[in-house]
Amino acid sequence: MDKEFLNKIFIITGASSGIGKATTELAIQRGANVLATGRKIEELKKLLIKHGTSNLEIVAADITIEADRKLIVEKCINKFGGIDVLVNAAGIIAGGSIENTTLEQWDYMLDINLRSVFRLIQISLPYLIKRKGNIINVSSITGIRAFPNILAYCVSKAGLDQLTHCIALELASKGVRVNSINPGVVVTNLHRASGMSEESYNAFLEHSKTTHPLGRVGKPEEIAELILFLASEKAAWITGVSYSIDGGRAQTCLR
């Protein structure tokens, strides 16, 4: 199991922090070659210092920009020669209701969380088909349950789940598997990046212990383990599924 991804080639977005970074670290530990991309070049360089260049390529990129999306795929092909696994872990969150979400905020949320994923999949697809690879989309509990005051985020993640299901059906005959995961609250920089203060974030994490039946929030490494399971041959008969990994949060009512 230690080198179960030997000679496998990953593209992982959002790799400069959180779930994307944890997945990058674990994939490399298990023998994978990884193209790690994100917007924080200094954080990506830390990965390079730690793991070296033999099985890691970093690309500072904005996945909302078409040229950057093409660059990500081009760099991966040039460095490693193909793509076996595409992990779409990049994403943002922001507050807003139907009454106060602006069209610009709506468009920006859906661009990063859904449109850019759709397009990156399209660009990567010829290489994934060639190697009968697979795709894992990092969605959210909000993709399957409604929550107030994060409207655009909820819709973007619900759309990502449906994108997963639709393309899994379309690509099954080509040997490409597609799945998504739906984490509950996980300790990452996601909420801080949305503008939440450290005090508010700590209070949010403390409250989240009461909203997750297992009594705690998640760790990025736990999410990475599920991603790599779905990417592995152990999951060879799994496609078109959205997996909850949320400490039981999706089983509860709003509180």
The whole-number pLDDT of residue 198 equals: 82
d(CA 99, CA 219): 33
Nearest alpha carbon to residue 143 among 134, 133, 152 = 152
The active-site residue, picked from 108, 153, 201, 243, is 153
pLDDT at position 255 over 60: no
Q: Is 108 a catalytic residue?
A: no
The whole-number pLDDT of residue 254 equals: 63
Band of residue 192 on the pLDDT scale cut at 50, 70, 90: low
Please tell me the pTM assigned to this model. Answer: 0.94
Contacts with 224 (C-beta within 8 Å, 6 or more apart), sequence order: 19, 22, 23, 25, 26
Average pLDDT, integer, range 128-151: 96
> What Å distances lie between residue 48 and 35, 57, 98, 143, 171, CA to CA?
11, 8, 42, 33, 33
Q: Are 187 and 217 contacting, i.e. CB atoms less than 8 angstroms apart?
A: yes
Nearest 5°: phi and psi at 180? -130, 160
240 CB burial (10 A radius; 0-12, 13-18, 19+): middle
pLDDT at position 194 over 80: no
Average pLDDT, integer, range 167-188: 96
The whole-number pLDDT of residue 208 equals: 83
- What does the pLDDT look like over 28-56, one tens digit per residue? 999 999 999 999 999 999 999 999 989 99
The whole-number pLDDT of residue 88 equals: 98
DSSP 218: B
* For the chain, domain boundaries: 9-251
The whole-number pLDDT of residue 2 equals: 80
Q: Give the homologous superfamily in CATH for domain 9-251.
A: NAD(P)-binding Rossmann-like Domain (3.40.50.720)
